[in-house]
Structure 1
């Protein structure tokens, strides 16, 4: 283990020890709070700590994962750049998260409480809540109160799977017969061919759920010499996995993307992509490979970029969801403040911000537009300085590859 790696892990353990002290309310080396935080919080619950730092939701917190969680949080809260968190800022952070949970609970009840009794029954609960209904219903009375809904983990795998499955299925199975032939689905409106896991040309609901459950595990990286071969969607855990490669695999300078269909978290995706750009990793899309949505943003962050033969890059509009509905980036005027973080990202990686507005108009959030040869040239997508046709292809067959 390198000195850098030991220091990295030691710093994370110090952070973990401090948070553990707060959570359990026991004496420790961390100083006790000297005053009330902005939100008046005096204690951090272990559940809150795990939701913050356990990005892959596997019940364990690893050093690089914790570092990634902190960096992602910094991008939300620190406008002047990464400076870490003081004790009072950590307490404020968790109070803000609790207030957000309260607001979401109130919004969900306002939207779905059809009988007006102030609670949500199973028949009234949203698709995301249904996945965790009995876990949340602590008194087993068959109804969720605002206090119970506050404990709902909106970033959990179950929440993601149920939400994505419901949104897609309602659109592709309008007659409700439980089957959706691909031949009857407009790919420009719903790009769902990859969800046909058994390849029979017809989607059933279980296939959609299994696809998104697999998708939620996040992108993996296999090390093959100077290459990190990437497959899967970008999640909060992706940044930590890239940090591990940066520290423990210093020979890696190229990311060979095979299938990267998108992201579950735009902020986490941008932070992972910015790390790629700042450390001058090259990105290559393997022959016949595909990257879409956040996967395309990640590819564009490469210091140099190359597309293999038959590779495709997909783009579409982003969408925001909350208890009261959804809206898409393409529905907003060009000067709307919601665009700014995306524009800053593309400026930071050297891509014309006009590309961002192009993606919003190319396809809605449920569709996908694949860049044409003319569009690839127009936006300078490919720099041409890569090894997809030789080194990259060789990396795909390297039997000594290791998982990250």
Structure 2
């Protein structure tokens, strides 16, 4: 499977700016943290209870090793709290992390004012239970390859679509849902754009489990 950059630097900057503006407000979902007793693995920070992780940043090639090291050192992790997770620059790694997350029965949560998009949404969907705080944003779009082709340039029965669909099945979704959600995302916005899911769409695809 080829590595696909599913998020552009332009929208990465927009999301970081938006997140900064939103999180400058007080949030009931973010409790004070004792950073002297936390453990950081790049974009993951294990909290003092050693059951909760705060996640912020782009998923990249090193993330699988970081995630593996984190679980080895902290085997009681139960929930990943996602703040700003704008996407992935290595989809294959992202899929492996998501599968490992589901296999370890970990839940995912979007913090108050949290923003997840692209590969960040794929990772969030791996959570056994998926919850969110207030004022969250969930963004999806198409992918593009190194040759300038977008997902929608390929026929619906093309093998190019299979890795993404198979990933959803690997983290517990049925075939019908996996195909429906995948094709929804690639038609929702081009690779250089972003579509923020409406409440109706979030409900339709059961993005939030409760």
Q: TM-score range by the shorter chain?
A: 0.7 to 0.9
Does the 8 A contact of 2:86 with 2:119 survive in 1?
A: yes
Length-normalised TM-score, structure 2? 0.79
CA separation of 1:241 and 1:334: change in aligned 2, threshold 3 A:
same
Task: Tell me the residue number matched to 2:202.
Answer: 376
Question: Are 1:255 and 2:80 counterparts?
Answer: yes
Match of 1:336 among 158, 180, 187: 158
Which has more helix, going by share of residues?
Answer: 1
Higher relative contact order (CA 8 A, sep 6+): 2
Please give the alpha-carbon distance, in whole angstroms, between the structure 1 residues aligned to 2:16 and 2:114: 16
Does the 8 A contact of 2:15 with 2:115 survive in 1?
A: no
Please give the alpha-carbon distance, in whole angstroms, between the structure 2 residues aligned to 1:376 and 1:341: 23
Q: Secondary structure at the match of 2:172?
A: coil
Does the 8 A contact of 1:314 with 1:370 survive in 2?
A: yes
Does the 8 A contact of 1:287 with 1:309 survive in 2?
A: yes
Please give the alpha-carbon distance, in whole angstroms, between the structure 2 residues aligned to 1:241 and 1:232: 13
Q: For residues 1-400 of structure 1, what are the structure 2 equivalents within 5 Å?
A: 193-194=14-15, 220-224=43-47, 225=49, 226-321=51-146, 325-351=147-173, 352-353=177-178, 354-384=180-210
Does the 8 A contact of 1:219 with 1:260 survive in 2?
A: no
Structure showing greater radius of gyration is 1
Provide Cα deviations, 1:217-239, integer angstroms capped at 9, x if missing partner.
x9511111211100100011111
Length-normalised TM-score, structure 1? 0.42
Does the 8 A contact of 1:191 with 1:368 survive in 2?
A: no
Please give the alpha-carbon distance, in whole angstroms, between the structure 2 residues aligned to 1:293 and 1:370: 10
Provide Cα deviations, 1:313-372, integer angstroms capped at 9, x if missing partner.
110001101xxx311102211101100111111112233111000000000001111111
Structure 1 residues not aligned, in runs of 5+: 1-75, 77-153, 155-159, 169-189, 200-217, 385-404
Structure 2 residues not aligned, in runs of 5+: 21-40
Q: How many angstroms does 1:383 deviate by?
A: 1.0
Please give the alpha-carbon distance, in whole angstroms, between the structure 2 residues aligned to 1:298 and 1:365: 18
Task: Tell me the residue number matched to 2:25.
Answer: none
Please give the alpha-carbon distance, in whole angstroms, between the structure 1 residues aligned to 2:192 and 2:13: 9
